[in-house]
Amino acid sequence: MTLTSLVAFFLLVGIIADYTPGRYISKRVHATMETVPGISTVYESVRRASRLLLDDETDQFKDVKLVTFPHRDAYTLAFLTATTPSAIEDQLDSGAMVTVMVPLGPNPTTNGFVMHMPAKHVYDVDVTVEEAIRSIATLGVASDEIGTETETEPSIPSESPA
């Protein structure tokens, strides 16, 4: 009874917020925040990033790569995120470049460094995005599971016979 009442309460609040002045108030708050000097830039950036991260249709990370970081002879997993803007690539005499996100644990999907690197310092690795995220989120504890999945076969947990 209590659980049903709680679910009904949140459903009702959602409907009221969506179809009453809640939508108007939300639009006014966004419009106000976007006009405040100094705050508007940060607010809009966070809002855009939030929409991108919450959008299920968006492939945030295209591929997993191995990059030299933080120094030579040290390697870390990185996510290929976008093509390097020509404004950056043209300033350097490094040839082809790629844009990667070097994630930080324990929240690899939102914390990390965006780096524009020469393609010659970025290596292909046979690791799925899910495996890389799991490895980084567990601070390396799940690293022994890297390479056990393929992109076409989802992993199905095996049950041990009892």
pLDDT tens per residue across span 134-146:
888 887 777 777 7
Spatial distance between the Cα atoms of 151 and 31, rounded to a whole number of angstroms: 42
Spatial distance between the Cα atoms of 144 and 142, rounded to a whole number of angstroms: 5
Check residues 112 and 23 and name the one with the higher pLDDT: 112
**Predicted confidence (pLDDT) at residue 48 exceeds the cutoff of 70:** yes
Q: Average pLDDT in the 7-31 region?
A: 75
- Whether the Cβ atoms of residue 119 and residue 95 lie closer than 8 Å to each other: yes
What is the four-CA torsion angle of 63, 77, 114, 98, rounded to 10 degrees? -50
- Whether the Cβ atoms of residue 96 and residue 118 lie closer than 8 Å to each other: yes
Tokens linked to 113 = 């460094």
Q: What's the pLDDT tens digit per position in 63-111?
A: 899 998 888 888 999 999 888 888 888 888 778 899 999 988 777 777 8
Provide the residue type at 46 as one letter.
V
53 confidence band (pLDDT: 50, 70, 90): low
Q: What is the pLDDT of residue 22?
A: 67
160 confidence band (pLDDT: 50, 70, 90): very low
Contacts of 83 (CB under 8 A, 6+ apart): 98, 99
Q: What is the pLDDT of residue 51?
A: 67
- Whether the Cβ atoms of residue 64 and residue 78 lie closer than 8 Å to each other: yes
Spatial distance between the Cα atoms of 49 and 113, rounded to a whole number of angstroms: 15
Domain ranges of the chain: 2-54, 63-145
Check residues 66 and 18 and name the one with the higher pLDDT: 66
**Predicted confidence (pLDDT) at residue 58 exceeds the cutoff of 70:** no
CB-based burial, 8-36: b 16+ in 10 Å, e otherwise: eeeeeeeeeeeeeeeeeeeeeeeeeeeee
Q: What's the pLDDT tens digit per position in 113-132?
A: 999 998 888 999 998 888 88
Contacts of 118 (CB under 8 A, 6+ apart): 92, 94, 95, 96, 97
